[in-house]
Structure 1
Amino acid sequence: MSPRTSPVPSSGMATQSPWFLRFPPELSSSIVSFLPNRDVKSLRLTCKALSDISPFSSARVFLSANSLNIEVFRAVADHPKFRHEIREIIWDDARFVSAPLIWESVRPIIEPERMEINSNEECPIWFTEDCAENRYTIKHRKYRDVDRPDHVARQHQLDAQMPLKACWKYYQQLLDDQRSIIRSEDDEKAFLYGLERFPQLGRVTVTPAAHGWLFTPLYETPMIRAFPYGFNYPIPRGWHYDPVDSQVAEPLPWLEATDDYKELWRGARIVLRLLSQVEKHNVSELRFDSKQLHTGLNFLIFDQPCEECNQFAAIMKRPGFQRLHLSLLTGSSGYWTGFQSGLFRQAVSLAKELTHLHLSTTFNNGSHFPMRDPPIPLKEVLPLKEWPNLSHLGLSNFSIDTSELIDILKLAPSSLRSLDLEFIEFPFDELCLTGLLERMREDLGWTERDQSLKPTVTIAMEGQRRWPGRFVKLSSDEVATFLYGSGENPLNGDSTSSPKSGYGINYDLFEAEYTRPNVNFMDLKKLGIIC
């Protein structure tokens, strides 16, 4: 019997196989490969034939202080096939709160008026206000964009929003579940189990940004996928985060901080401790990634010796450790004490096999008018001579001196293949990014290298962004035409916020459909992107 024909049933009536199954297997598999895992799972459930041509494959699992996330995590860890495919654990380090806290000192402040119950909605005033803010945010993030399918999908959820009383009840269930997990330490136990059960695990990512914006999560974790349709809730942000999205919280001295304050980094601290203590694991890449939210690890853990600093250093020292992405909460004032002690430099200098480093701060982050902070002394932060195999360097939200950056790049090993510069400021320098590119072309000698040895350079700038995660980025080709050829400098005079019109692409880390060219409003309107 041909595999592309269906058997004849007992009635004698021949049935024809679905049209999709008549495609060559290679074509069917190629089509399925474009589907997100959520849709692949649904397709596999329709029939055995479609299940056979739709193999589920996922290289990552999610973890947080949530019982459903832990249940799925453990199920994958116990699966005889899937556990061998896992290469990354993503820890959602944002947690639900019973009340909004403002950390102006080592003790949190609760605004009592927001704790009162809204008699109409039967939930706290702070909850109703945050849910209303979510609706406002959806509207204003869309701004003048034409209705895209993702906009329509979000609007459908808004129109079908559950009554706030029901939202509050479900939110309380999530909060109770979270408390139970934290008491039992089941999230920590699951992470330890994963280190044992995932033989191909190479990357651990901890982020405060998993929930993204309402109905637009960064990651669709099992918990988030299970939310009721139209569920509006205060979007949790992990770590120390200012409730006003455009502001930056000031980090509190770590050795003086309470346990409650340190618990804002619960997932990050567990990961630091276990990766430094467990001997048998293959994790070679560690990412504490804020996704451009105005937060990060409290960099004052590097101000004076402490457990977290020692654990970080122990991970850097592990044989085979190669990649580090580190978002640091430095405040916005340019007071870089956490780097002055030398503990950070000492720790990262232990990573002798480091190939990739991306380092971001919150200096000037969220400030529309930079405060002209003193530049970070890169030579005191980055021990490039200790990384002979470094192939990628990324710096984000750094206040720098042009000459010092040029000197640092001269020290970079010949193995350097890519350089990312994001939201860079030049506080006491007449030069800006435009001048920096000119000096890179003139002073570094990269133009004389063979084509394959020339580092690719990308530059990200604020552009017209109003929300964390939005930016305009110059591609490596746009920079290379000037840096290594006779092309025009894509940067715009003394501006550090946007390249020349027509250069670069606007992105949104939380909304892939937002992507658009960097052109003026009239051109965007002609392209049918805005109205």
Structure 2
Amino acid sequence: MIFSYLDRGDMISLRATCSTLERVVPCNIDRVFISANSLNIQVFRAIADSELHRHKITEIIWDDARLPEVPEYEEVTSSDDDDDDDDNGGNGGNDDNNNDDDDDDNNDDDNNNDYEYYEEEEDHYGKYDYVYDCWDDDDDNESLCSSMPEWFTRRCLDGGPGGQQQVPYSNSIINRSWPYYEALLIDQRKNMQLNADIEAFKYGLQRFTHLKRVTITPCTHGRQSQPLFRTPMIMAFPFDFVYPSPRPWPYTGFDVTHVDAPWAPNNGHSVEYAYRHCQCRFLSFTAFHMKYKDKRCQCQLGEMSASVHDEYRSYWRGFSLVTRALAECEQDHHVTELTIGGRGIWTGVNCHVFDQKCQEYDDLVSLLQRPGFRRLDLDLNTFMIQRDDDGWKSYRSGLLGKALAQAKDLRHISLRTTTDTSDGTCLYIDPKDEFKKTFPLEMILPFDQWPNLQHFGISNMLVTNSNLVALLVALPKSLRSVELSNLGFAGIGGWWELLNEMRTKLDWRMRPVRERPEVHMTVADLYFDDLEIGYYVHIDDTVASFMYGFGGNPFRKQPVEMVEAHGECMDSLPRGTVGTKRDFLDPSFSARYGFPVENRINR
């Protein structure tokens, strides 16, 4: 029938037309959401108890974006300066999004329609008793309520971390929002104390017979008035409800104290951590800063008590609980895919999980070594690990590589980080130390263990052309897609050289068209002046034309004298080239993007 060609949103509208179509048109839902919210939990359990729907579920999305109960990042004003670096580092920066490739199944165009059909299905499950009875449309106060905390007002107006302009809301809207938000906080606190969310998750592992993927993300709420997923909780919000954007995971941003603490506890003792609070990220485009960045961006050290360290680790509560549940309940599920998001909003799982063995590491390995495990999307918050002694402690420990080597049946691997890169350069590393700081990619990516690999992706990593090309040559014939995004190159050589070597040294051009790997290259994101957090620009079409057609190399070859003058590869972006602008927080968004023609180093 014709409805088999309709997308999920159109199917929902068609079912709402009449009772006959409601019976005839299938209600297709294949994923569910869970978080520390009673409505999300009730809907999750209702689906798990439904014989009609529970067998259709293939994915659980754990929404780890908890509502903030206190200011979660510092207010940045024009009067702020570096003298404000006090002992607040234990609060950590907080996170933002993620997400996946623009062709990822998690991020299709149906994100906003997953639970709309529940409005039609209420008669089957009864009305949910989860209601916040505190919304008054007739309230029209002109002044802000005195009982409302000041931070709530500020955070409602500032657009959230990474926001570049304030959002204008009237006092009456904010006043009406606070009691609703307060009720949400009470409910969230109760569910976290009772662990109601993880208990429901374990129940779902037993009930969803075709479950294959688990996604953990802090990006659910997206931007203000533009959620990534419309969960039952978000769909229940009143029309003009405003609230602070929740970002519980520490994130890389201009407006936070950048806290880099160990993951493993110190037997009840305090732990030493590094923190950075400066405006260095604003200066990343200037030649002066590129030359003197190491002198201007010194991290400071602090000490964090055991209790504060536990609170710091709790930011990643969802990651810890979900991996533990998947390990404990391994007989109850058939999960073969794990997605841990956040890179789209400059966050991810704490990379120090891989510094030394811990419970979370063991639980992750337990899942990876399951027969048939086939997909891992891992976004890591790498803080400033490139500044550690020889650099990259979390990689050099070998634990990440050993964990991935357990996944013998892996088909898809994507490793994205928050390491700062721009124009083919890894920031905050002295060019003289680049080769000392590099490491072979085989140390963390054991490709010899993945004979059936179909997708390989890395983002924001320091590489050498020779090592990366040698790795690509060794990839199996089963490879169908590659992501090489926002890389930093050590020594002479950059994007231009990489593409040239890929074209000449790989046999991909000689393969049948259907067997040629698609190459995805993101070369612009947060470091571009006109790109807000979440947006990025790729040049996939231009790269494909060069790799498999007759197009030219979109990048600019670096004059030797420029490289020698700056000690690194500068301004290798495809000046004047047209790319495609996409949005991690709105996968349906796509727009033409023209790169600036002027030389960015002379701005």
TM-score computed with the length of structure 1 as normaliser: 0.81
**3-state SS of 1:70 partner:** helix
Give the letter for the 2:585 counterpart: F
- 2:230 aligned partner: 220
Structure 1 range deviating more: 369-378 or 215-224: 369-378
CA deviation after TM superposition for structure 1 residue 63, in Å: 0.6
Answer yes or no: is the 8 Å Cα contact 2:73–2:256 preserved in 1: no
- 2:544 aligned partner: 480
**3-state SS of 2:57 partner:** coil
Give the letter for the 2:409 counterpart: E
Alpha-carbon distance between aligned partners in 1 of 2:310 and 2:240, rounded to the nearest angstrom: 35
Q: Deviations over 1:442-463 (max 9, x none)?
A: 2223333333332221111216
CA deviation after TM superposition for structure 1 residue 339, in Å: 1.1
CA deviation after TM superposition for structure 1 residue 163, in Å: 2.6
The structure, 1 or 2, with the larger RCO (C-alpha pairs under 8 Å, 6+ apart) is 2
User: Of 469, 477, 490, which residue of structure 1 is paired with 2:554?
Assistant: 490
**3-state SS of 2:377 partner:** strand
1:453 paired with 2:515, answer yes
- Count of residues in correspondence between the two structures: 468
User: Of 576, 580, 597, which residue of structure 2 is paired with 1:505?
Assistant: 580
Relative distance call for 1:161 and 1:436 in structure 2 (3 A) is: farther
Q: Deviations over 1:374-415 (max 9, x none)?
A: 345312111111111111101011121111111221222222
User: Of 380, 383, 401, which residue of structure 1 is paired with 2:446?
Assistant: 383
User: Of 471, 474, 493, which residue of structure 1 is paired with 2:536?
Assistant: 471
Structure 1 range deviating more: 245-254 or 413-422: 245-254
Answer yes or no: is the 8 Å Cα contact 1:240–1:251 preserved in 2: no
User: Of 319, 323, 337, which residue of structure 2 is paired with 1:268?
Assistant: 319
1:128 paired with 2:190, answer no
CA deviation after TM superposition for structure 1 residue 47, in Å: 2.5
**3-state SS of 1:328 partner:** strand
CA deviation after TM superposition for structure 1 residue 187, in Å: 0.5
**3-state SS of 1:292 partner:** helix
Alpha-carbon distance between aligned partners in 2 of 1:49 and 1:514, rounded to the nearest angstrom: 35
- 2:108 aligned partner: none
Answer yes or no: is the 8 Å Cα contact 2:557–2:572 preserved in 1: no
Give the letter for the 1:134 counterpart: G
Relative distance call for 1:329 and 1:124 in structure 2 (3 A) is: same
**3-state SS of 2:413 partner:** strand
Alpha-carbon distance between aligned partners in 1 of 2:173 and 2:485, rounded to the nearest angstrom: 42
Give the letter for the 1:453 counterpart: E
- 1:306 aligned partner: 358
Answer yes or no: is the 8 Å Cα contact 1:333–1:364 preserved in 2: no
Answer yes or no: is the 8 Å Cα contact 1:106–1:261 preserved in 2: no
Relative distance call for 1:42 and 1:138 in structure 2 (3 A) is: farther
Structure 1 range deviating more: 498-507 or 348-357: 498-507
Relative distance call for 1:331 and 1:261 in structure 2 (3 A) is: same
- 1:94 aligned partner: 65
**3-state SS of 1:267 partner:** helix
Alpha-carbon distance between aligned partners in 2 of 1:136 and 1:416, rounded to the nearest angstrom: 37
User: Of 351, 357, 361, which residue of structure 1 is paired with 2:407?
Assistant: 351
- 1:397 aligned partner: 460
Counterparts of 1:54-453 in structure 2, within 5 Å, are 54-101=25-72, 107-108=90-91, 120-122=144-146, 123-134=148-159, 140=165, 163-241=173-251, 244=253, 249-256=258-265, 258-280=309-331, 281-332=333-384, 334=386, 335-364=391-420, 370-372=427-429, 374-426=437-489, 428-453=490-515
CA deviation after TM superposition for structure 1 residue 62, in Å: 0.5
Alpha-carbon distance between aligned partners in 1 of 2:509 and 2:518, rounded to the nearest angstrom: 11
Alpha-carbon distance between aligned partners in 2 of 1:137 and 1:249, rounded to the nearest angstrom: 14
CA deviation after TM superposition for structure 1 residue 491, in Å: 2.9
CA deviation after TM superposition for structure 1 residue 120, in Å: 3.5
CA deviation after TM superposition for structure 1 residue 101, in Å: 4.2
Q: CA RMSD in A?
A: 3.1
**3-state SS of 1:227 partner:** coil
Alpha-carbon distance between aligned partners in 1 of 2:321 and 2:92, rounded to the nearest angstrom: 26
Give the letter for the 1:190 counterpart: A
Relative distance call for 1:106 and 1:470 in structure 2 (3 A) is: closer
Structure 1 range deviating more: 477-486 or 216-225: 477-486
Q: Deviations over 1:467-486 (max 9, x none)?
A: 222111122x5323212333
Alpha-carbon distance between aligned partners in 1 of 2:426 and 2:408, rounded to the nearest angstrom: 39
Alpha-carbon distance between aligned partners in 1 of 2:182 and 2:542, rounded to the nearest angstrom: 50
CA deviation after TM superposition for structure 1 residue 205, in Å: 0.4
Alpha-carbon distance between aligned partners in 1 of 2:422 and 2:444, rounded to the nearest angstrom: 23
Relative distance call for 1:135 and 1:270 in structure 2 (3 A) is: closer
CA deviation after TM superposition for structure 1 residue 500, in Å: 4.7
CA deviation after TM superposition for structure 1 residue 196, in Å: 0.6
Relative distance call for 1:35 and 1:447 in structure 2 (3 A) is: closer
TM-score computed with the length of structure 2 as normaliser: 0.71
Relative distance call for 1:409 and 1:197 in structure 2 (3 A) is: same
Alpha-carbon distance between aligned partners in 2 of 1:284 and 1:412, rounded to the nearest angstrom: 22
Alpha-carbon distance between aligned partners in 1 of 2:202 and 2:347, rounded to the nearest angstrom: 26
Answer yes or no: is the 8 Å Cα contact 1:332–1:362 preserved in 2: no
The answer for unaligned runs of 5 or more in structure 1 is 1-25, 111-118, 142-154, 523-531
The answer for unaligned runs of 5 or more in structure 2 is 75-86, 94-142, 266-305, 559-569, 598-603
Alpha-carbon distance between aligned partners in 2 of 1:356 and 1:401, rounded to the nearest angstrom: 23
Give the letter for the 2:321 counterpart: I
Alpha-carbon distance between aligned partners in 1 of 2:193 and 2:533, rounded to the nearest angstrom: 33
